[in-house]
């Protein structure tokens, strides 16, 4: 009954933490492609090849359902994977869906025509690769009209977080918020489009101001997954053991993971 969680590095641990609390009886197998992180500066073909390799490893571990807890992979690889690669008895889901559901206040299965929503001015903070893919804007356009999205590529933030340099990460976040506000002075909502960014949510909120609704992903993904598994219980794979897999150095990755989960975990070589 295992479910796979895939990420390019450690940011997906914010999603893992939320889904594990929401679904305590489900064993999760986490795969971090730390040897090739970050994905945010890679081209789409490279991201696709790395993502399919990682997801296949999770299928091999007994996971029939894999969550891409990586916005870059969701943006650059997911649609191509679903159309041409994912086996009929498996499912791979991304992390954009719960965000768009929350923003548009409509369920993903609602295929009615796009309609106006309350929020008109949205700031999107994401990796350069996610921003250049325009995947978020494309998916949002299927469901809402009249929404202005201003996207800010947040170069350097993921590296700073993974290196544990939170002072640099905070400085970069404030710089990126300032850059976005020069183009969109008064956003009504902000999307934190990277699973590393929940660690900086308070900084984003402070820089944006109290009047801006900040949407982070972890809890939204957890609720969406719980609902999905209620509707599709057959997608619980036959794996029974939780595990943490990495393509990087297990000892080093395990030490760095503490800042994400606030507890000691042990990664093994993928």
Q: Whole-model pTM above 0.85?
A: yes
Examine the domain organization and report whether 86 and 121 are in the same domain: no
| Rounded average pLDDT over 190-208 | 94
pLDDT in tens, 35-74: 998 888 899 999 999 999 999 999 999 999 999 999 899 9
178 and 136 within one domain: yes
pLDDT for 108: 58
CATH number, domain of 241, equals 3.40.50.1860
Domain end position, chosen among 170, 189, 215: 215
| Pair (188, 223) in one structural domain | no
Q: Are residues 150 and 16 in the same domain?
A: no
Instruction: Determine the average pLDDT of the residues in 75-102.
Output: 91
pLDDT digits (tens, 9 = 90+) for 110-133: 667 888 888 899 999 998 888 988
Q: Which of 215, 233, 254 is the last residue of a domain?
A: 215
Both structure tokens of 47 = 């991201």
Mean pLDDT of 245-257: 95
Question: Tell me: the pLDDT tens digits for 29-46?
Answer: 999 999 998 888 899 999
Residues 41, 105 within the same domain: no
d(CA 207, CA 197): 14
Which structural domain, as residue segments, surrounds residue 255?
A: 3-94+218-269
Q: Are both 103 and 73 inside the same structural domain?
A: no
Q: What is the mean pLDDT of residues 143-161?
A: 91
- Does pLDDT of 239 surpass 80? no
Same domain, yes or no, for 197 and 247? no
Dist. CA 239–CA 259, nearest whole Å: 27
pLDDT number for residue 209: 96
61: tokens are 């571990």
Position 129 scores a pLDDT of 86
pLDDT range class, residue 97, cuts 50, 70, 90: confident
Which residues lie closer than 8 Å to 103 by C-beta, 6 or more apart? 117, 119, 122, 140, 144, 189, 191, 215
Question: Could you give the number of structural domains in the chain?
Answer: 2
Per-residue tokens: 270: 């993928």
Q: Return the active site residues.
A: 70, 194
Per-residue model confidence (pLDDT) at position 109: 62
Q: Are 36 and 247 in contact (CB under 8 A)?
A: yes
């Amino acid at each position: 009954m295992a479910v796979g969680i895939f990420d390019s590095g450690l940011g997906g641990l914010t999603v893992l933490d939320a889904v594990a609390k929401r679904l305590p009886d489900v064993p999760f197998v986490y795969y971090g492609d730390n040897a090739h992180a970050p994905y945010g500066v890679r081209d789409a073909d490279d991201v696709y090849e790395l993502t399919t390799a990682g997801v296949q490893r999770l299928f091999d571990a007994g996971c029939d359902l894999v969550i891409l807890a990586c916005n870059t992979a969701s943006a650059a690889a997911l649609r191509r994977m679903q159309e041409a690669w994912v086996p009929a008895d498996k499912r791979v889901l991304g992390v954009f869906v719960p965000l768009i559901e929350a923003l548009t206040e409509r369920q993903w299965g609602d295929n009615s025509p796009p309609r106006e929503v309350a929020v008109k001015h949205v700031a999107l903070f994401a990796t350069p690769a996610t921003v250049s893919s325009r995947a978020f804007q494309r998916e949002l356009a299927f469901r809402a009209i009249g929404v202005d999205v201003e996207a800010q590529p947040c170069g350097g933030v993921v590296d700073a977080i993974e290196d544990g340099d939170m002072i640099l990460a905070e400085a970069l976040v404030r710089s990126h918020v300032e850059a976005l506000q020069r183009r969109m002075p008064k956003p009504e909502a902000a999307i934190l489009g990277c699973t590393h960014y929940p660690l900086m949510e308070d900084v984003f909120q402070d820089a944006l101001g109290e009047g801006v609704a900040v949407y982070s992903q972890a809890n939204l993904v957890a609720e969406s997954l719980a609902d999905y598994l209620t509707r599709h219980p057959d997608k619980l794979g036959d794996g029974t053991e939780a595990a943490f897999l990495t393509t990087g150095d297990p000892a080093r990755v395990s030490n760095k993971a503490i800042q994400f989960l606030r507890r000691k975990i042990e990664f093994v070589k993928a």
